[in-house]
Amino acid sequence: MKDKNIPSVKRLLLFLLLILASCALKPPVQEMSDARSAIKMAQALPGQQSPGQQSKADAYLKSAETALDEAAAAIDNEHYDRARTKALEAKRNAQQAARIKQRKHQ
């Protein structure tokens, strides 16, 4: 006995696959914008911390800038998943730099 729902299940799976593929085929524009904003915010904060904390914040900020550059290069090569990952990494690192910069001397 053949199941009559198999063609509709195949269509549904194909539709879901196309949706997933379209997400991977688009450049991570929002993630790049968020990362750039987070970096600018961290750069604009005045340093209120000890020299050791300042160097730690600088290291996170440099790492964020490097990750953003790598994300841009990945977009140029149409590696959008990698670009999205690197943009999110850049944002996280910039946010960490900002948190460190906002701490007072400890």
Give the C-alpha separation, 101 to 63, whole Å.
15
Predicted TM-score (pTM) of the model is 0.75
Domain range annotation of the chain? 28-102
Residues 25-40: tens digit of each pLDDT: 789 999 999 999 999 9
1 pLDDT band (50/70/90 cuts)? very low
Residue 5, pLDDT > 70, answer no
Close Cβ partners of 104 (under 8 Å, ≥ 6 residues apart)? 48, 49
d(CA 17, CA 33): 27
Structural tokens at position 47 = 């340093």
pLDDT tens sequence across 41-81: 999 998 777 788 888 999 999 999 999 999 999 999 999 99
